[in-house]
Each structure stands twice: as structure tokens, then as C-alpha cells.
Structure 1
Amino acid sequence: MKKLAIVIPYYKIDFFEKTIQSVASQSNRNFVLYIGNDASPDDPIPVIEKYFSPEDYQYFNYTDNLGGKNLALQWERILDHVKEDWFQILGDDDIIAENFVEEFYKAVPESEKNNINVLKFVYDWIDENDRHLESFDYGVRYLNAVDFTIQKYRGLVRSSLSENIFRTKMYRKHSFEKIPLAWGSDDIALLAFSGYRDMLYIRTSKVKVRISNISISGTETMDKQKNNAYNVFREKLITGHSNHFPQAFMEQVIADYLIYCHMNKQRATYGVAFYHLKHLHVKKFLKSIKKIYYINKIYTTTLR
């Protein structure tokens, strides 16, 4: 029985063949491949058919571009078709090692025994010429999702979407947060899909994540949009997941969120202040409410 779905949300043709070739080269072919064409101007079928027969994959040719509205919406409409117990969302320019699926199956018994819901692989950054830029290997067997999120927020670790395999039932329970550019949607998925517990870290295989000037991660022209989206991530972390984090860390995130809203003349949500009220910090709650009122007054004035 096939336990793994490899899901490719396709839009860019530039490096797609290398992605498909890496999937076709797997030493263990016990997976189901799903490809969703997000109304791309470039037909991927000729590339796919070089490596896979029609019965070896499921292809969905969407006529409306959802990824342009929110990438998570594009992921989710493909995931609606997935029946396997686990899935990976593989970027259309990323590459998996030949033993990626093989090492997944080796990890399944340990994952099921310990009720692990997220598998995370070592990954490399590569450029548009496949040159190695940097490796990320944390040298452990287990990574706690909450601790990992704190470390990533502080710039001590890195992660992206492609190097993760998620248990499908946890996705069905929580779904992805709809953050602009999905910038932080994968980080919240690590938290929610893992159940805020340990992730199994697989160091015997890896994913190569491409950083190029046509990727969201690599382009500098979208820095403002990415920064705005990351502040939405902060907001969702505060309002939806704060109970799982140490108080000192959440105080830092709230302060960063409010400073960003103030400096960029953006509306702040009053919901972040209720973190203090939940913890019976009435003075801090009232102080935050006052700050948010002031920030939003500036925002309203700016719109006039």
C-alpha cells in the first residue's frame, strides 16, 4: 500500500524538469504523484511525459490561478485529492535525493510508534545553476516544533516547505494558514500539524531548495511584501498559537508586531492584546489596547 503522496503545485517551467527528474529517479517508487497546474502559461505535460506514464501520476489542469491570490489555496485544492497517509509539498523548482522516499518508509515505523506527525529532512540551498549555497543539518534525531519555531524566529535555524512530510490527518484537522505569499504558512503548519510536539529529523536523505531570482525566497523585489506577510504570521502566532510558547517569547513577538505596524502605518488587530488578558496581566492588556488604538488612528489618518 502506498503511504506517501508527493504533491507538486506547478506554475514555473524554468527548473521543473529537474524537479520531475528527481521524483522519477527515486529508488523506491512506492508513492503517488499529484501535479496541479495553477493556470501556468507553460504546459508541463511534455516534461512530465518524458519521465512518467499517464497512469503513474494524477494531473489537475486548473483554469484559475489561485497561487496568485494565496499559495496555500493552490496547495489545498490539490490536497483535496490526496488519499495517502502522508504527503510532501514539493516546490516546482526543488529537488529530492534519490533515497528520499526510501528513507521515508524506513522512518514510518518509528513515527507511528511515537505518534510523530511531521518528518523533516536535511536540506541544501542551491542557486539557479545548481551550485550549492548552504546546508542545514541540525545533527539530532528529534526537533521540537515549538523550540524550532522560536529558534527560527530568532534567526538561529532555517526551514522551508519542501523538506517536510506531513501526516495527512493532521492537515485535514488544521489546514494551512492563509498568509500572503504563504510566508510563514509552513512554519505554522509545523506547529499545528505536529501537535506542537516533536518532529522526526531525517539526516540520511535531503532536499535541495532552489534560491533564484524568480523564487519568492530569492527575489529582493518582493522584500516589502514578504515583510508585511511576516507580520501577518506574527499576528496569527499570537492570536492562534500563543498558549504553546513561553511568555517571554510571546511578549517579544507582540512587541515586534506592534512596532512593525507603527513603523509601517498598518492597522493592528486588537486580538493580540488579549494575550495579556488571558494571562491576567491587566496593566499590560490596557497598555497594548492603548498602543493599538494609537497605531490604528495613524493608519486611519494616513488613508485620508
Structure 2
Amino acid sequence: MNKLAIVIPYYKIDFFEETLKSVADQIDIRFTLYIGNDASPNNPLPLIQKYFPDGNYHYFNYQENLGGNNLASQWERILENVTEDWFQILGDDDMVLDNFVEEFYEKITLIESKNIYVIKVSQAFINKKSEKTTTYSKYDEVITTNDFWNFKFNLGHRSSLSEHIFNKEIYEKYKFEKYPLAWHSDDMAVIKFSIPNGIYYLDKTKVYVRFSEKSISGQVNDKNNNDLKNIATYQFYADMLNHYIKYLGKKEARVTLEKHFYRMWNLKFRNNLNLISIYMYLNEYRKIITIPYKNYQFNNNAKKN
């Protein structure tokens, strides 16, 4: 039985053929392909049958669109059918190098022996012409949860859903957080699934993540999307500080806390932090007496509903 599932939540046809071709070109064919059509107006079957004429795939033609409400629900609906031990969720406009599956099997025995449940693959951004617009990401063989947070949220490194392979058992335990637009849902999955043994990094294969005006990341001038992204980030940072702060170093935790304070104040959001437990973790006990005043400041500044 294959150990790896490649899962494609399909809606946009614009670059879907390139995505399919990259999967069909795999040197090692020990994977199972799952495609879930999220009630798209464009039928993908002709393209799927072109690249997989032997019918060696699972196709689900859903009548209800879930991705328009929350992408994480779209992902989870397809994952209900997956029986393999590991899975990648590949965006319908992203691509993988032809040795993607080969490198997975090259390292999977070692990864499982270390009780690691998240794999990160070297990635680069591409544009709508499939031209590479960034360098490839580069990390050590094993990345801690703290490292991941610091790299992305304090140092500004790129990270996307498609470049990760997740263990199915740990996913079943935690699932995906349903943040608006599924913004940061993949980040929280990486954090929760990587505790306590970290993330294994594959450097000898690549994932190409498309950044265009048709992707949520690329819609930088859409006010409604930006508002929803701000709400998602507000919820995500609070979850990290309230529930997973002990997996951050104290320096990273302080930086994260200050960023969240700044965001809440400027966006006029109410305080959503358990400041008692946060200050106790940071050994800043004297600040506990300031909490009522901080709550008053944030909540008085917040937008009135």
C-alpha cells in the first residue's frame, strides 16, 4: 500500500493543468491521488483523464461549495477519504518537482523513527507565467516548533500549505483550525503537529507555490479579504500565546506579545489574551497587577458593535 497521498482541493482551472502534469511526471509512482471538486464552474475531468488515463485516482465531484466559506472545510472533506499514512495538500495552481515522491520515500523511515509528524519541502514562489520569483527556502534537517515560529513570524520567511506533508494520525487528533479564509490554518497545523519533535526538512526536491492575483495571498488590495486576514491573524496569535507559548523561547514570546498588542490597538480589537498565564510564563509577575488597566485600554479602544 502507498504511504503517501497527494490531495488536490480543486476550484480554479487557470493553472490546474500544470499542477496535474507535475504530479503525473513523478519518477516514483507510489502515491495515491485524491482530487475534490469544490463545485467549480469548470469541469476538471478532461484534464484529469488526459494526465491519468488509467483512472488511477480518486475524484470527488462535490455539489456544495465549502471553500468559499472556509478552505479548511474543503480540505477536511477530501481528507475523510484518505487512508494513507501521510498526505500533502497541493494547491490547484501549485507544482511539485518530479522527484517529490522519490525524496519522500528516501527519508520516510528515518522521519518515522524520530517520531516527527510534519515534513517541510524546499519551495519557491512562481508567478502566473510559472517563472520563479524567489530563491528556494533553506533550513537545517530538523526544525523545532520554536524555529518555525521565529523564521516565519519574526524573520519574515515564506511558508505555505503545499510545501508540507502531514502525518494522517496526528491530523486526525488535531484537525485544522477554522480561521477566516483558512489564513494561518496551515501555520497552526504545522505548530500543533510538530510538537514535540519538530519538522523534518527535505532539500533535494522542490514545491513551486504560485503567487498571483487569483490566490488569496496575492489579493493584497481586496479590502474584505484584508479585513478577514486581520481577524484570522488576531485569532491565530491569541491561540499561540494562550495555548502554545511554552513552545516559544521567552525572547520570541515577548516579540510576539508586543506585535499582538500593537495589532489589537491599531485594528481596535478587544483583548483576547490570558495575560495572567502569559506573564507567569515570561516571569513578569509585576505586570499581572496591570492587567485590569490593559483590559480597560484595549476594550475601551475597541470598535463598538
State TM-score, norm by structure 2: 0.92
Percent of paired sites with the same residue: 42
Cα distance, 1:289–1:95 mapped onto 2, change above 3 Å: farther
After superposition, give the CA deviation of every residue in 1:54-85 in whole Å (9 maximum; x if it has no partner).
74111122222221222111111111111100
In 2, the alpha carbon distance for the partners of 1:270 and 1:142 equals 31
In 2, the alpha carbon distance for the partners of 1:178 and 1:95 equals 25
Residue of 284, 298, 302 corresponding to 2:301: 298
In 1, the alpha carbon distance for the partners of 2:139 and 2:193 equals 22
Compute the RMSD of aligned alpha carbons. Answer: 1.9
Write the mapping of 1:224-263 to structure 2, written as runs, cut at 5 A: 224-263=227-266
CA contact (8 A) 1:254 1:272 kept: no
Cα distance, 1:59–1:293 mapped onto 2, change above 3 Å: farther
In 1, the alpha carbon distance for the partners of 2:71 and 2:261 equals 26
Counterpart AA for 2:161: L
In 1, the alpha carbon distance for the partners of 2:132 and 2:284 equals 49
CA contact (8 A) 1:121 1:201 kept: yes
After superposition, give the CA deviation of every residue in 1:200-220 in whole Å (9 maximum; x if it has no partner).
111111000000011011121
Aligned to 1:267: 270
Cα distance, 1:278–1:138 mapped onto 2, change above 3 Å: closer
In 1, the alpha carbon distance for the partners of 2:185 and 2:124 equals 20
Q: Is 262-271 or 185-194 further displaced after alignment?
A: 262-271
In 2, the alpha carbon distance for the partners of 1:273 and 1:38 equals 43
Counterpart AA for 2:42: D
In 2, the alpha carbon distance for the partners of 1:148 and 1:267 equals 27
CA contact (8 A) 2:241 2:273 kept: no
Aligned to 1:93: 93
After superposition, give the CA deviation of every residue in 1:133-161 in whole Å (9 maximum; x if it has no partner).
00233253222222121121113422111
Cα distance, 1:131–1:262 mapped onto 2, change above 3 Å: same
In 1, the alpha carbon distance for the partners of 2:82 and 2:201 equals 24
Write the mapping of 1:143-154 to structure 2, written as runs, cut at 5 A: 143-154=143-154
In 2, the alpha carbon distance for the partners of 1:186 and 1:240 equals 17
Write the mapping of 1:140-219 to structure 2, written as runs, cut at 5 A: 140-219=140-219
Structure 1 unaligned blocks of 5 or more: none
Counterpart AA for 1:252: V
Aligned to 1:22: 22
Cα distance, 1:237–1:139 mapped onto 2, change above 3 Å: closer
Cα distance, 1:215–1:274 mapped onto 2, change above 3 Å: same
In 2, the alpha carbon distance for the partners of 1:212 and 1:137 equals 19
Write the mapping of 1:25-40 to structure 2, written as runs, cut at 5 A: 25-40=25-40
Write the mapping of 1:51-130 to structure 2, written as runs, cut at 5 A: 51-53=51-53, 55-130=55-130
Counterpart AA for 1:263: N
Q: Is 27-36 or 287-296 further displaced after alignment?
A: 287-296
In 1, the alpha carbon distance for the partners of 2:296 and 2:65 equals 37
State TM-score, norm by structure 1: 0.92
Partner SS state of residue 296, structure 1: helix
After superposition, give the CA deviation of every residue in 1:11-30 in whole Å (9 maximum; x if it has no partner).
11110111011111111111
Counterpart AA for 2:260: Y
Cα distance, 1:126–1:165 mapped onto 2, change above 3 Å: same
After superposition, give the CA deviation of every residue in 1:156-190 in whole Å (9 maximum; x if it has no partner).
42211101111111111111111112221211211
In 2, the alpha carbon distance for the partners of 1:298 and 1:124 equals 40
Structure 2 unaligned blocks of 5 or more: none
The alpha carbon displacement at 1:122 in A equals: 0.7
After superposition, give the CA deviation of every residue in 1:241-267 in whole Å (9 maximum; x if it has no partner).
112112232222222222212211122
After superposition, give the CA deviation of every residue in 1:74-100 in whole Å (9 maximum; x if it has no partner).
111111111100000000000001110
